[in-house]
Amino acid sequence: MQVHKLSYIRLWIAAMLSLALLIGALRPHAVTPAFAGGVRFKPGEIIVGLNLASGVTIADINATYGTSVLAILSPADGIYELTTPDTDMLAIIEQMGNDTRLKFAEPNYIGQSPEAD
């Protein structure tokens, strides 16, 4: 009887491990954060604020830098989340920093909750 019970336990463990591996394989891959100056951000994602007084559109910015819109964060303020082409995102942000059509351009930082006391 003891040997029979161990077989079921082994079978149950094998089934649970298989299920865990299947769930892990089906789960969408999380974005591995990148670091710049010790701060985490999502690679390939930039947050920009348009200088609306300049008359620029997000299509103009995308055409200039090869970016595309991931999300419209605040349409009234001209704030967008962009994705970059397979080039150096930090170099694109540096170029955008000199573009007077933009108020700001920064990596999509990953915020963290403050530690509890």
pLDDT tens for 29-76 read 444 555 555 678 888 899 999 999 999 999 999 999 999 999 999 999
117: helix, strand or coil: coil
φ, ψ of residue 38 to 5 degrees: the values are 80, 5
Overall average pLDDT of the 80-90 stretch: 87
AA letter at 32: T
Can you tell me the distance from the alpha carbon of 62 to that of 9, in angstroms, rounded to the nearest whole number?
58
Name residue 72's beta-bridge partners.
80
Mean confidence (pLDDT) of the chain: 80
pTM score, two decimals? Answer: 0.64
What letter would DSSP give residue 86?
S
AA letter at 44: G
